[in-house]
Amino acid sequence: MRLEGKTAIVTGGANGIGAGCVRRLAAEGANVVIADVDDRSGDALAAELSDKAIFVRCNVAERASVKALFDAAVAVFGAVDVLVNNAAFVHKPGVIANFLDYSDEAWRRTLDVNLTGMFYCAQTAARFMAKRGHGGVIINMSSGGASRAHRHMFGYDTSKGGIEAATRAMALDLAPLNIRVNAVVPGSTRVEHGTAVGDSPVAPAAVIPLPRQGMPEDIAAAVAFLASDDAAYITGTRIFVDGGMDAQLRTPSVDYSYDFSQFL
Query: Cβ neighbours of residue 175 under 8 Å, at least 6 residues apart?
Result: 235, 236
102: annotated active-site residue? no
d(CA 47, CA 34): 11
d(CA 254, CA 250): 12
Q: Residues 120, 156, 233, 258: which is the catalytic one?
A: 156
Q: How far is CA 130 from the centre of its chain?
A: 22
167-172 long-range contacts, CB within 8 A, separation 24+? 167/140, 167/142, 167/236, 167/238, 168/236, 170/122, 170/126, 170/138, 171/235, 171/236, 171/237, 172/236
d(CA 60, CA 39): 14
Q: Hey, which residues are catalytic here?
A: 156
